[in-house]
């Protein structure tokens, strides 16, 4: 088996995934807490993985991880998360940075600085559409658009308030608009306040993406540009996008796996440890977290 543990720290949630030979086998999420300590984050991630590991393997001595990789937009908890990942897998994790090979040329971008998650998304999209320009839209806390040409050169991008963030801001900054959770929109014109707000946020996001894709494709002469959507709200927004779309909910995890493999030859840790010999998920108990045996 060739299992990789991937962890992505976003502004709202931390998503952990296990990929086996490049295919997602498990995903789970916990809330992003900026005051996580080593024990707390190890306990939280270990709790996510405990049931999954028990379901797929009764032979704990034989279960192995090939490696692990972390992507983060919350750098203050990188160190404790890397610690937890090493405790869980028995391998030293890679940290997504400009030092890793990604297959994406970011020299166009100001000072070469762009969110790690956006590069990971692009790397995954380019692995899917090797000879085509790609536009990736990640519908998270913010809605990000990131575009690369057919050679994998980053052209640029856009950032807008996310669907839920827009609804939250309307409720927070006005006296009479209600707090809503993003939901399905079937008619573009609402007939009450709530449906007006929902259409503006959900259908509006889809139409923004449609318009942006059309304009970007024309302005930058990106013929046959592939549009890739990811993020939990994709299923709500996609019906309002007026062009062919590829929806991949695990895009970021696939990208992390692809980047790990691109850098595997220079991976300094000894990999393929039998983690159950030293690192026992089964010993997870209450507030003690993962115990090194």
List, by residue number, the catalytic residues.
Answer: 117
Structure tokens at 222: 């990106």
Indicate the helix (H) or strand (E) that contains 164.
Answer: helix 163-173
Q: Where are the beta strands (DSSP E) in 154-259?
A: 154-161, 226-230, 246-247
- Residue 245 three-state SS: coil
Q: Give CA–CA dist 274/240, Å, rounded.
A: 48
For residue 169, the tally of other CB atoms under 10 A from its CB is 13
3-state DSSP helix/strand/coil percent for the chain, to nearest 5? 40, 25, 35
- Residue 95 three-state SS: strand
Structure tokens at 62: 């034989």
Q: 């995934």: which residue's tokens?
A: 17
Of the candidates 136, 132, 152, 134, the one whose C-alpha atom is nearest the C-alpha of residue 144 is 136
Q: 């707090």: which residue's tokens?
A: 179
Q: Is the Cβ–Cβ distance between 193 and 178 less than 8 Å? A: yes
Of the candidates 113, 143, 151, the one whose C-alpha atom is nearest the C-alpha of residue 230 is 143
Angle at 140 (CA atoms; ends 193, 82), nearest 5 degrees: 150
Of the candidates 48, 53, 56, the one whose C-alpha atom is nearest the C-alpha of residue 7 is 48
């Amino acid at each position: 088996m060739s299992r990789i543990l991937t962890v992505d720290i976003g502004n709202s949630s931390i998503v952990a995934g296990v990929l086996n030979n490049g295919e997602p086998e498990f995903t789970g999420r916990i809330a992003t807490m900026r005051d996580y300590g080593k024990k707390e984050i190890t306990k939280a991630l270990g709790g996510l993985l405990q049931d999954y590991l028990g379901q797929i393997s009764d032979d704990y001595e034989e279960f192995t991880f090939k490696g692990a990789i972390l992507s983060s937009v919350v750098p203050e908890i990188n160190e404790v998360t890397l610690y937890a990942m090493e405790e869980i897998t028995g391998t030293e994790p890679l940290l997504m940075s400009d030092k890793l090979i990604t297959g994406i040329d970011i020299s166009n971008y100001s000072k070469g600085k762009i969110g790690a998650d956006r590069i990971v998304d692009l790397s995954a999209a380019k692995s899917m559409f090797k000879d085509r320009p790609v536009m990736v839209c990640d519908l998270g806390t913010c809605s990000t658009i990131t575009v690369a040409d057919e050679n994998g050169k980053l052209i640029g991008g856009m950032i807008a308030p996310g669907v839920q963030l827009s609804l939250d801001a309307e409720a927070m900054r006005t006296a009479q608009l209600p707090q809503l959770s993003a939901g399905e929109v079937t008619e573009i014109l609402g007939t009450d306040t709530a449906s007006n707000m929902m259409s503006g946020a959900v259908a509006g996001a889809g139409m923004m993406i449609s318009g942006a894709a059309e304009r970007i494709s024309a302005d930058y002469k990106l013929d046959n540009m592939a549009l890739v959507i990811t993020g939990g709200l994709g299923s709500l927004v996609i019906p309002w996008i007026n062009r062919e779309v590829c929806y991949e909910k695990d895009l970021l995890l696939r990208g992390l796996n692809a980047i790990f493999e691109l850098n595997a030859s220079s991976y300094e840790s000894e990999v393929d440890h039998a983690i159950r010999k030293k690192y026992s998920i089964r010993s997870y108990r209450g507030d003690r977290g993962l115990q090194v045996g």
